Amino acid sequence: MKRSILPQQMLTYRYLLRAHIGPFVFSLGTLMFLFLLQFVMKFIDQLIGKGLSAWIIIELIALSLAWMVVLAVPMAVLVATLMGFGELSSRNEITAMKASGMSIYTMLAPIIVAATVVALVLVWFNNYVLPEANHQAKTLMIDIRKKKPTLNLVPGLFSQDIGGYSILVRKTFEKTNDLEGITLYDYTNPNTNVVITAERGRISFSPDYRKIIMDLEQGEIHELDLQKMSSYRKLQFRTHRIVMNAEGFEFERSSEGTFSRGDRELSAQAMGAIVDSLHKAKKELEDQMQKAIVDDMDHAIKGTVSTNPFLGFGSQQPGGAQVFKARSMAAYVTNELSRIEFIDKQTDQYLVEIYKKYSIPAACIVFVLIGVPLGIMSRRGGFGAAATLSLGFFLVYWAFLIGGEKLADRNIVSPFVGMWSADIVLGLLGIYLTVRIGKETVVINWSFLNHLLPKRWRSGIQDDPEIVAGNP
């Protein structure tokens, strides 16, 4: 008997997996297309018409596909689960499987295993492919800005990417860095309001790429003293040069011709090493501060002057140094606590990214627990119904994820809670719904079932007038 049940069960597993492969591929392709369309719509004005080759644009889009995959795969798992089990339920095949002695947990097993495999692949992708893709995309964007500093300047729109300045240009050129119809507001001096207009101009980087140079032609400078509103002057020029800091264009100077990596450009292992070094630095600061406080208190009890090198009290006389010592100690402790707080904030930011690399893949398993009972209850296998049901859970999950990241970065909640709360809450909800759907009992008529079951399942059912299908 066991020999006949096992092959039949394996065939059922294969049938269930085949029912999900098609919807998964279809939903993944659809979601990737939507993400790609959103990306192109967002950056089309900055990429097209800037003199960039088609290959550069394609390379940038290809590198951006990595983060799209990370977001689209868990969504596709939920849509595929809803479509797969919804279609099986609409054809009463779930009822037939229960009638043959298969529980909902048995049906769930192959899908959970497949989702676990997908999650593990996504974890590997997050740690090895995504960081490199993000780094290459960042490097490519920096190279584009080095070649085309007009990239951030959209004709007809004010650009505030350069700190302290607001720039409006009427026209840019594809092949050069020339500009026409320039209006520039200079906010670098809070006591003076400066407005510069020019008919033509050219923008470029300094040789070390730390400054942005704007050479203007045929224009005027309007300057108003905000403290003395009556003080106003107007200057006309043929040529005028403005030098601005390049931080607004996100250019980062590296020591050996490479660019430093941010937290989203590192693997979990690399960030874990950084977190360990931050913990070590924090411990050293705490020990150093504790030693300084104890040393100062010890000298105060003995009535002598502290010679702690961190406090610098050795030059003060015992009779007139008490107030100075107290204020210096308070300033020293405040400074050290600020450094420790900064280290804690850095640590939380890295921990958030580490947990995110695992919590998002874990959503594949969570969405299976959600999708199976919802698919069975909905009894609809179309993409529209699955997408509608998925939308609410997508919004809840990403609200938890984004909100948790913000709260963790601000040290309101721990990074673990911030990144794993969505998986925990939706996972518990999925377990509850699965248990509820597993306890349901369905009464079916054999004559009706006989027309619905595939041939390979009919041999396992006796010729009873009624079969009660429930949780075995």
Could you report the per-residue pLDDT of 356-387, keeping only the tens digit for each? 999 999 999 999 999 888 888 876 656 666 77
d(CA 314, CA 307): 5
pLDDT digits (tens, 9 = 90+) for 193-241: 889 999 999 888 777 667 888 899 999 998 888 777 677 888 899 999 9
Which of 17-31, 33-47, 205-219, 399-413 ranks highest by mean pLDDT? Answer: 17-31
DSSP string, 149-177: GGGG--TTS-B--STTEEEEEEEE-SSS-
What local confidence, expressed as pLDDT, does residue 119 receive? 95
Q: What is the pTM of this model?
A: 0.66
d(CA 443, CA 458): 17
Beta pairing, strands 165-172 & 442-445: unpaired
Identity at 303, one-letter amino acid code: G
pLDDT digits (tens, 9 = 90+) for 49-76: 555 677 888 888 888 899 899 989 999 9
What is the layout of strands, in order, in the sheet containing 178-186?
Answer: 165-172, 178-186, 192-205, 211-225, 232-245
Q: Scan for tokens 């702690």, then name that residue.
A: 308
Q: For residue 2, is pLDDT > 60?
A: no
Q: Which residue has the higher pLDDT, 44 or 302?
A: 44
Q: What is the mean pLDDT of the chain?
A: 77
Q: What is the 3-state secondary structure (H, E, C) of 246-299?
A: CHHHCCCCCCCCCCCCCHHHCCHHHHHHHHHHHHHHHHHHHHHHHHHHHHHHHH
- The rounded percent of the chain whose pLDDT value lies above 90 is 17
